[in-house]
Copies of this chain bind each other. A is one copy, B any other.
Amino acid sequence: MNIQAEWMRGGTSKCWVFESEHLDETATSLDELLPKVFGSPDSRQIDGVGGATSTTSKAVILHRCDDSEVDVEFTFAQVGIEEATVDWGSNCGNCSAVVGLYAIEQGWVVPDSDITRVITRNTNTGQIIIQRVDTPGGALPIVPQAQMPGVATAGYKVGLGFRDPAGKTTGSLLPTSNPTDILIAADRAWTVSLIDAGAPVVVLRAEELGLDTADYDSWMAAVDSQLNVLDQVRREAAVRMGLATTPKQAARAIPKLAIAAAPQDDQSDASVMMLSMGRPHPALAITGSVALTLGAQTPGTVLGEITGGEPRATLRLRTPAGVIETWSEVREGSMYVGVDRTARSIATSTIHLPESLGSVAGTDLASASR
């Protein structure tokens, strides 16, 4: 049995892109089908299309929509490696970036100007994401030329804008109603901003950690030595934001934590470092960058104090991987906040399933074909 699929790089991930109609033809549940396609369970995924790492064992399932609100619905699947499982619980910002490009390459959306907007809905989260694909002169460039931090090679430029991202988890951009709060953690007081946009994020000033704001390269080592303290701050913040009843019960992934400082030069508007799962992130998760962007537009928050706290079209954030620019726009009464990625198709493929599936894979057939 065969399945049509497009293997695409989205941001810093590799994603297998399927049209839902093609998967439907297998008459097999996706929880059973996708692990087989990816070669799971197997730590090496040696007999399937998976890449044996979390950033290369991802699928995106697209459904072309005829309704007036969105062009494409998409569902993200994190496919297990050592287990034959699929995690449908969250979206992936990197893989999201392939959707608009795919829609244009397939002719689902026709480019109409220098930037073509594709309206998408992620079904894992319900989030509407507008995708701004660079189409200079009304067409995709023959040779993609856009660069992004963390990827050495060029791709097509795709901006991902989250529609009205504030308060999706807690109901409010500022869950405590305060631009800053004071937390007690590790036997001292911390001034932080608690922001809910894209994802819940706690932001604190680099100065509180004793970081040298004039020497960004020195942050990594200094932060590494204070990870335990930072996790205590993060857990206190979880309680304040209503995400946990005690610090101990706080989830490992939520809220995220960001450290921020005034820019060290005129290449950026602020220096930031984000922690993900307890470790410094090499760049910025898209969800985290949305929170920082709205924080910077909110007077009195940690980032607002650094950048001015005014609405702005773009925000340049220094990260370990380089300066990342986020953008904001208001369209038809909604606020879109986003960041640019690059994406491109690596291969157009017909995947051959390793074995027959479901009821077809019976013992009788197996012995008959020997």
Contact = CB atoms under 8 A, between A and B. Distances in A.
Contact of A349 (B55, B151, B349): B349
Contact of A9 (B5, B47, B346): B47
A137 to B, nearest CB: 10
Nearest to A351: B347
A350 B369 CA distance: 31
A348 interface: yes
A355 B143 contact: yes
Contacts of A144: 355
A306 B55 CA distance: 49
A348 B345 contact: no
A349 B349 CA distance: 4
A356 B151 contact: no
Contact of A352 (B5, B56, B345, B366): B345
A48 interface: yes
A370 interface: yes
Interface in A1-22: 5, 7, 9, 12-14
Interface in A139-177: 141-145, 151-155
A7 B349 CA distance: 9
Given A42-B152, A52-B53, A136-B370, A352 B356 contact: no
Contacts of A52: 51, 53, 56
A41 B153 CA distance: 10
A72 interface: no
A27 interface: no
A41 to B, nearest CB: 8
Contacts of A344: 47, 352, 354
A49 interface: yes
Interface residues of A, number: 47
A44 interface: yes
Contacts of A253: none
Interface in A172-204: none
Contact of A49 (B41, B346, B352, B361): B346
Contacts of A55: 44, 46
Given A46-B55, A49-B347, A370 B154 contact: no
A143 B346 contact: no
A51 B57 CA distance: 11
A280 interface: no
Nearest to A13: B46
A365 interface: yes
Nearest to A11: B46
Interface in A307-323: none
A39 interface: yes
B141 A355 contact: no
A9 B46 contact: yes
A347 B42 CA distance: 18
Q: Ordered nearest first, which 5 A-B pairs have the shortest CB separation? A: A347-B349, A349-B349, A47-B153, A348-B350, A153-B354
23 contacts: A7-B349, A9-B46, A12-B44, A12-B46, A39-B153, A46-B151, A47-B155, A47-B344, A48-B346, A49-B347, A51-B51, A51-B52, A51-B56, A52-B53, A136-B370, A143-B361, A143-B369, A145-B369, A153-B354, A154-B354, A344-B354, A347-B350, A348-B349
Interface of A: 5, 7, 9, 12-14, 39, 41-42, 44, 46-49, 51-53, 55-56, 136, 141-145, 151-155, 344-352, 354-356, 361, 365-366, 369-370
